[in-house]
Chains A and B, each alone.
Chain A
């Protein structure tokens, strides 16, 4: 629990009439390259789980040589077909971005354009794409309220890389989304130092992160100081907090962390299956 308790989070969902691995409410994955570690997890929001529904978020990555492209998409629940649109958009984004030989931020823009084309055909989705090079340079592009944080080595405070929503005294109620006739993306660039992580998240993570500076934020910053095991990342994403029941997705890329003892799901360094 991170903040006020949530009664909804404690309710056990009724078994869905059908389930398979592709639609699991909890999904996690990851692995290491010689120069970075990648971990991703997505969990269906409490309300989706209690309704027997699956997550409408999606993540994807693709690596080639000294570059990795990553994406997180958040399908809009108010538009039918958005879960599929998010999946298509994420996959298309990384596939297009990774073959763009230009600078990272330009490749990230390419990813957004590809995501926009892939999102057509039903549904609506946000997208945030990042392209990270071996030297730590990263370029990002997004449409909508999925966003990115950077956390330095040593559990330092996180920094959001895009502008947070302006509230004007009230919570915002809408987001830009794909497909769009004018998919102009916001962009950001940064250089990741060794041991730091670039984290792409859906708003189901970003909102409570911003709203929980004494609870959610420190918990994430501590756990993300080093690459956790995928299941540990999923467990973190599944935190309980009053009124926070949107789908939650995190995808992190830690630069130059290979060789450091990785966390794993038992807490014991070097456990079989751990990354690092």
Chain B
């Protein structure tokens, strides 16, 4: 041993940040985009010097299914959702590591919007509600409700020691908005406001009378975020396939948090095509 030759104190630190490293996803950590940092101190007197927290925290990935339950969904479409939704719970139950990180909620909208499954650990839910279709198609109601719900859920979750990956909204509709155009656009702007840190990523799916330009706008006019079933496709075949794809997407997205790159994995729905964003206008 040569301890007598060792000098200095524990934790004399100087850190030099650099920039320019390409990132492979958004929301890059501070270490990569900051300038030079000079940080002096000791492990003993500063304790958790590198921003170590003071509260126990657990990362979770929130998913919201935002489902059109207007009158036009009556019949095969809503029946398909009701049959398929329990399969999501079963899929999550098959992978306990995913069940620990995913939080899932269901919001429906017609004339008004409602939370029919509050954001929760789906593996702890014994039964999902049966959905019924009625009324008109108020996108504004859906977006207003999502904005309030996401913020409330975040604050409640944070109090419970959870920190969030960016929430994801899966928006499904078979019709055009029955609101005044500026009304639903205003609600959508509020939901997707860049200044609101909890703004969700939105995937939108349409069939029946859904308008591709509107769906693209709902998804922020981003490539491969809005999808439309082929013209004339029957809800009886589209909805089960869509729900199967969504289940795979939700499970894969949740699993991605363990891969070093959490991401919203697109569903594989062969009968639906991505809406080119240039259809927006």
Tell me the minimal C-beta distance from A45 to chain B in angstroms.
Answer: 6
Residues of A within 8 A of B144 (CB): none
B92-104 near A? 1/0 per residue, CB < 8 Å: 0001111111000
Cα–Cα distance between A163 and B52 once the two chains are bound (Å): 10
Residues of A within 8 A of B59 (CB): 171, 207, 211, 243
Cα–Cα distance between A181 and B10 once the two chains are bound (Å): 35
Within 8 A of B (CB), among A224-256: 242-243, 245-246, 255-256
B47 within 8 A of A: yes
CB-based contact B198/A245 at 8 Å: no
Cα–Cα distance between A192 and B198 once the two chains are bound (Å): 41
B75 within 8 A of A: no
CB-based contact A134/B2 at 8 Å: yes
Segment among A22-30, A88-96, A143-151, A265-273 that sits at the interface with chain B: A143-151
Cα–Cα distance between A173 and B25 once the two chains are bound (Å): 6
Given known A-B contacts A163-B15, A169-B198, A173-B25, A203 and B50 have beta carbons under 8 A apart: no
Question: Which residue on B lies nearest to A153, using beta carbons?
Answer: B10
A16 within 8 A of B: no
Residues of A within 8 A of B47 (CB): 157, 159
CB-based contact B13/A188 at 8 Å: yes
Tell me the minimal C-beta distance from B196 to chain A in angstroms.
Answer: 10
CB-based contact A136/B22 at 8 Å: no
Cα–Cα distance between A150 and B46 once the two chains are bound (Å): 12
B159 within 8 A of A: no
Cα–Cα distance between A50 and B100 once the two chains are bound (Å): 14
Residues of A within 8 A of B8 (CB): 135-137, 191-193
Contacting residue for B29 out of A137, A175, A212, CB 8 A = A175
CB-based contact A158/B30 at 8 Å: no
**Count of A-B residue pairs with CB < 8 Å:** 278
A172 within 8 A of B: yes
B236 within 8 A of A: no
CB-based contact A186/B52 at 8 Å: no
Segment among B105-113, B182-190, B251-259 that sits at the interface with chain A: B251-259
Contacting residue for B164 out of A7, A145, A170, CB 8 A = A170
Chain A interface size band reads 35 or more
Cα–Cα distance between A182 and B48 once the two chains are bound (Å): 31
CB-based contact B56/A212 at 8 Å: yes
Question: Which residue on A lies nearest to B49, using beta carbons?
Answer: A159
Segment among B31-39, B79-87, B267-275 that sits at the interface with chain A: B31-39
CB-based contact A76/B18 at 8 Å: no
Cα–Cα distance between A7 and B123 once the two chains are bound (Å): 11
Residues of A within 8 A of B198 (CB): 169-170
Given known A-B contacts A163-B17, A176-B28, A243-B101, A210 and B6 have beta carbons under 8 A apart: no
Tell me the minimal C-beta distance from B16 to chain A in angstroms.
Answer: 4
Given known A-B contacts A192-B10, A214-B56, A124 and B24 have beta carbons under 8 A apart: yes
Tell me the minimal C-beta distance from B86 to chain A in angstroms.
Answer: 20
Residues of A within 8 A of B28 (CB): 172, 174-176
Residues of A within 8 A of B50 (CB): 147, 149, 159-164
Within 8 A of B (CB), among A171-216: 171-177, 180-194, 196, 203, 207, 209-215
B1-22 near A? 1/0 per residue, CB < 8 Å: 1110111111111111111111
Question: Which residue on A lies nearest to B31, using beta carbons?
Answer: A163
Given known A-B contacts A152-B43, A184-B21, A172 and B96 have beta carbons under 8 A apart: no
Cα–Cα distance between A66 and B201 once the two chains are bound (Å): 52
CB-based contact A193/B1 at 8 Å: no
Cα–Cα distance between A238 and B5 once the two chains are bound (Å): 36
Contacting residue for A143 out of B3, B21, B154, CB 8 A = B21
CB-based contact A243/B58 at 8 Å: yes
B54 within 8 A of A: yes
Contacting residue for B1 out of A34, A126, A151, A212, CB 8 A = A34
CB-based contact B99/A159 at 8 Å: no
CB-based contact B100/A8 at 8 Å: yes
Within 8 A of B (CB), among A18-75: 34-35, 45-48, 50, 74-75
**Which A residues contact B (CB, under 8 angstroms)?**
3-4, 6-8, 11, 34-35, 45-48, 50, 74-78, 124, 126, 134-137, 143, 145, 147, 149-153, 156-177, 180-194, 196, 203, 207, 209-215, 217, 242-243, 245-246, 255-259
Closest 5 pairs between A and B when the two form their complex, measured CB to CB: A160-B50, A174-B25, A77-B259, A191-B8, A165-B29
Q: Known contacts A150-B11, A217-B52; can you find 4 more A-B pairs with CB under 8 A?
A: A77-B258, A159-B49, A160-B48, A191-B10
**Which B residues contact A (CB, under 8 angstroms)?**
1-3, 5-32, 34, 37, 41-44, 46-60, 95-101, 154, 163-166, 197-198, 255-256, 258-263
